[in-house]
Amino acid sequence: MRQRVTNSHKGPYMPYYENVFIARQDISSAQIETITDSMVTLIDETGGRVSRREYWGVRSLAYRMQKNKKGHYVLLNFEAPSSTVLEMERQMRLNEDILRILTIKTDDLPEGPTVVLANRGEQSRYRDRPERNEGRAPRRPDSTEDAVAAKPASETSSEG
């Protein structure tokens, strides 16, 4: 007879999950909160526990989805029975405001802010990052004056 492994004092082992959903860009923040609250309530009612709930804001989509170019991104990290995940995904699929959902099983519940929230305050762009510019060819001069200045002295002097 096998013994059940437990990860808390509550009872049987519940797997950890990470869920990200994208909602339409034209709904309000209050509607996003309502959707998120209903999912958290569902998880809590079935004996699960939400450890992280993050709103990532309105972000551009990689491609158009149902005529939307942007969407509200929300992340939930939680532990719950698999039946709860199935019911949560069912309710999300029925909601017309939700464009995409992704739920994955994880090994643990992460601590601290996600990379998305940690990078939100940074305003650096690709060209401003010195670690990415190392090893690149120097910028090509745009004008003839820059071209003359860029040539070595041996080429510009006219000895002859």
pLDDT of residue 89: 95
**pLDDT score for 145:** 54
Q: Regarding beta strands 49-65 and 68-79, do their DSSP bridges make them parallel or antiparallel, or are they unpaired?
A: antiparallel
Q: Taking the complete model, does pTM exceed 0.75, yes or no?
A: no
Cβ-contact 17, 106 below 8 angstroms: yes
The pLDDT assigned to 9 comes to 46
Q: Grade residue 151 by pLDDT with cuts at 50, 70 and 90.
A: low
Residue 89: CB atoms within 10 A of its CB come to: 16
Mean pLDDT within 48-54: 92
* Local structure of 88: helix, strand or coil: helix
Q: pLDDT confidence of 109, banded at 50, 70, 90?
A: confident
On whether the CB atoms of residues 68 and 22 are closer than 8 A, the answer is no
Report pLDDT for 133.
52
**Distant-in-sequence, close-in-space partners of 134: CB < 8 Å, separation ≥ 6:** none
